Chain A
Amino acid sequence: AQSVTQPDIHITVSEGASLELRCNYSYGATPYLFWYVQSPGQGLQLLLKYFSGDTLVQGIKGFEAEFKRSQSSFNLRKPSVHWSDAAEYFCAVGHNKLIFGAGTRLAVHP
C-alpha cells in the first residue's frame, strides 16, 4: 500500500535553531517526493521536489531535503529557522495524484 508517515505531529523550535522534519514513505515504484507548506487559512505552497538525480535537493525559503532510498525517507531540513516558518508542513509522494502525510505543525519560539 502507498503511504506517507510524518512521525511528528507538533514540533517547537527556537528562532535561529536548526530544523529537521521527518518523512517516511511506502511506494511501489520509484517515488516522486514533495514537501509542501501550509500557512493558516491558506492553500499549499510547494517547497521542493525530488524526481531523480542528486539526492539532496534545494528548495525555496532556505529549505533542503535529502532522499534516502535505503531508509525510504525524505526528511526536510533548515539550518536556521525564522519566526515566519511557523506553519504546517506536508510530505507527499506520487506520480499523478499525490498521497500526503498527516502533516507536522511547526511552532517557532522567539
Chain B
Amino acid sequence: EAGVTQSPTHLIKTRGQQATLRCSPISGHTSVYWYQQALGLGLQFLLWYDEGEERNRGNFPPRFSGRQFPNYSSELNVNALELEDSALYLCASSALTGTGANVLTFGAGSRLTVL
C-alpha cells in the first residue's frame, strides 16, 4: 500500500512569489491535514480538509490556502512568500478507526526555501 506522497520534495522560491505543494493521501483516506514545521517552532497546524471541504484552519494568514480534489488529493498554496515561510510542510491523511478517532499518517514533507 502506497503511503502519503508529497511533491515536490524541495522547492526554492523568492520573496513575493507563490508556491504550490501537493499531497496524495493513502488510498481510502478522505481527510488531509497540512502542517508547517519551521525551524525551532515545532509542528503548527495549517489546514484540514475532509470530503472536499475545509473543516478547520490554524492561525495562519489568508495567503495560506488550499483545496481538496474529488480524488482526495490536496494542494497547499502559499501566496506572497515571505522569508519566514521557509519550512518543511508536512501532509497527513487519515481514516476513522472503530473508536471514531483519527490516526494521522504523514508524508515525508516538502521543504520550501524562500530567498
Contacts and interface: CB of A to CB of B under 8 A. Distances in A.
Contacts of A49: 101, 103
Contacts, number: 54
Given A42-B108, A43-B90, A98 B45 contact: yes
Interface of A is mostly: loop
Interface of B: 4, 31, 33, 35, 42-43, 45, 48, 55-56, 58, 90, 92, 97, 99-109
Interface of B is mostly: strand
B6 to A, nearest CB: 8
A46 to B, nearest CB: 7
Contacts of B106: 36, 43-45
A32 B101 contact: yes
Contacts of B45: 97-99
B90 A95 contact: no
Contact of A44 (B31, B90, B100): B90
A52 interface: yes
Q: What are the nearest 6 A-B pairs in CB distance?
A: A43-B106, A100-B43, A44-B106, A102-B42, A43-B108, A32-B101
A103 B99 CA distance: 27
Given A32-B101, A43-B106, A46-B103, A97 B33 contact: yes
